[in-house]
Structure 1
Amino acid sequence: MALRSLLDPPPSHALARFSDRKTRYLLTVDTEEEFDWDKPLRREGYGLDHIPRLARFQQFCEGMGVVPIYLVDWPIATSSLAGEILREPIAAGRAEVGVQLHPWVSPPFTEEVSETNSFAGNLPHVLEAEKFARLRDRIETQFGAAPLIYRAGRYGLGPRTAEILQANGIAIDSSVRSKFDYSASGGPDYRRHPLGPYWLDEDRTMLELPLTTTFWGLLRELGDAIYPRLWRMPQARGVLSHLGLLERIPLTPEGVGVEEAMRGIDMALDAQLPVLVFSFHSPSLAPGHTPYVRTEGDLDRLYDWWRRIFAYCALRDVKPSSVADVLAAVER
């Protein structure tokens, strides 16, 4: 089975469709250690203080009828408390588990810790594969379920990542962050990748579910051409957004207001996307660990963001989904 590189935009015939024609959304949680986002990465010195907060978030999602997908990295996969909290909901189908590889905290530790090496796809193939395999096996042991979905930490796919996923039984990748470019830091450029799901092989055994980001505003049709030219001019981006001319909206509560996110949902539906992929980082479930949640008030607002977004999705007839649901419904 020939796999396309995850770094390359797919041909048009690879776009995926769903037999029931429903529009779905996934709630993905980058479930990871706490670290200072403003300082260089380190193997040591991270925290796990927010892990008890996973229980509240899981209960919240169950009350809203949503199945969260926890994309787990090594520090979480080796936390007995995380296993205690999530193992039963995962076994019951009220949550799902996937893989998220932060190479700087995932053994074996043979590479230098650097910004370039923080994108796992930049590592030598053998090392990327070994880190992934150890993490995948640890997740299955800790949480009692074989993970079927992957997201590279920092969205750091590489030219041979698809081979590694195939060898480890992964059916879905969700690392592509369309309309974002990380090449200035040594990472991938996803500006030309589509927003909708697509197949990574001709046999249709591995699916890409890009994180959902849309352009909104009078100039949205020109967003792919205009926005990349403004990456060094945040003030210009702010002016365009304020004037209602052009705004890039990723579907996340981190740095995106609820009204903005609703506009992003509208644009995604106008584009007839069959699957919307929401995301955020688990350390935001406790104050003080990310730039987005500094106080308990910020945390209350995060939960309110999700309540309002779930309600808006219901209003727009966008149904909560899961990995199992996607794999059952996608046309092969």
Structure 2
Amino acid sequence: MLILPQAEQEARFAPGFAPASLLTVDTEEGFDWNGPFTRDRHDLHHLDRLPRFQSFCEELGVSPVYLVDWPIVQSAKAKAIIGDAVARGTAEVGVQLHPWVNPPFDEEVTTRNSFAGNLPPELERAKFVALRDAIEETYGTAPIIYRAGRYGLGPATKAILHDCGVVIDSSVRALYDYSPGEGGDYSAFPNRPYWVAGEKPLLELPLTTIYRGLLARKGTALFPRLAKVPHGAGIAARAGLLERIALTPEGTPLRDAIHAVDTALDNGLPLLVLSFHSPSLAPGNTPYVHDERELDALYDWLRGIYAHMASRNVSPTTVKQVWDAAQQA
């Protein structure tokens, strides 16, 4: 699945579908982002903040897709909150695999093994199947979308998804390179949805990231070089030459995100995939939200970006609607 797609693999959608936006939530345990990966040093305290977020989304007319991992699917509290929204049709649920907290526990906990795609194929499959089945049992619906934790796709992932009835992947973080930490290199991957080559259909929905600036057309070749130079990327951004902007409230100022939306739409991007991590809904869990003021800023970001997308005629969509539109094209 790490093979760079060709232009002819770009996905098309039914007339009237685009432009649309999809809100994805990496719904996971809280843990120390600066510490080593562990099996047991995590918590789910932030779930107390989830009802506020769900109500906020419903007020916006947005149906989030909660990409849940093993600790979440084992939580009665998460089942009550997310399950209620799923049952009412105001949210969807998908799969997110964090291998270090997902049984079976047959591997050493290391940075390399935190990317599920680096595991032996039979172990990646066993972990995925255990999680997928638990999600269906807990929420009463078969998930059709997957995101590998840490964007950790591997050579066996596509076959696992096919065999388990998952028809959409959203693990590609376009324009990012995780190979220095033994993850995947997506620096040259497109931000447009595309069909993964193979006998069975698998639709890839990359997380939306864009290049902006005078040198944006050369971003794929230039930005990785700038990133290796101390302060190189920051200098290029401030000079208006080249800037990489991800559609997330985590680390992306609203003003920049609005520019990213406009750039994406001007380039004809049919689907904007937004994302953030559920622990950011409670202060102190992630580097992006330290206090209540920053949490309010996260909600302001979401409120602002959806207001701007509405002004640009971008409609919130759902995973099911994305799949149906791709099938009907």
TM-score higher than 0.5 here? yes
Q: 2:269 aligns with which of 273, 285, 289?
A: 273
Distance 1:107 1:203 in 2: 30
Q: 2:187 aligns with which of 188, 191, 199?
A: 191
Distance 2:216 2:230 in 1: 17
Give the equivalent residue in structure 1 for 2:253. 257
**Which amino acid in structure 2 is aligned with residue 13 of structure 1?**
E
**2:162 and 2:200 in contact (8 A); partners too:** no
Distance 1:288 1:271 in 2: 37
1:40 to 2:36 alignment:
yes
1:16 to 2:4 alignment:
no
Q: 5+ residue gaps in structure 2?
A: none
Q: 5+ residue gaps in structure 1?
A: 1-5
Distance 2:214 2:87 in 1: 46
Q: TM-score, normalised by structure 2?
A: 0.97
Distance 1:234 1:225 in 2: 18
1:64 to 2:73 alignment:
no
Give the equivalent residue in structure 1 for 2:317. 321
Please give the root-mean-square deviation of Cα atoms over the aligned residues, in Å: 1.1
Q: 2:120 aligns with which of 124, 128, 145?
A: 124
CA deviations 1:235-288 (Å, max 9, x no partner) are 121111111111100100000000000111111112211111000000000000
**1:29 and 1:69 in contact (8 A); partners too:** yes
Aligned pairs for 1:110-149 (under 5 A) are: 110-149=106-145
Equivalent position SS for 1:97: strand
1:170 to 2:199 alignment:
no
Q: Return closer, same or farther for 1:321/1:204 CA change in 2, 3 Å cut-off.
A: farther
Aligned pairs for 1:44-55 (under 5 A) are: 44-55=40-51
Distance 2:63 2:230 in 1: 35
**1:252 and 1:280 in contact (8 A); partners too:** yes
Distance 1:230 1:245 in 2: 11
Distance 2:240 2:315 in 1: 29
Q: TM-score, normalised by structure 1?
A: 0.96
**Which amino acid in structure 2 is aligned with residue 219 of structure 1?**
L
Equivalent position SS for 1:27: strand
Runs of 4+ in 1 over 3 A off after TM superposition: 201-204
Once the two structures are TM-superposed, the CA of residue 124 in structure 1 deviates from its matched residue by 0.3
% identity of equivalent residues: 55
**2:112 and 2:181 in contact (8 A); partners too:** yes
Distance 1:27 1:199 in 2: 20
Give the equivalent residue in structure 1 for 2:94. 98
CA deviations 1:99-137 (Å, max 9, x no partner) are 000000000001000010000000000000000000001
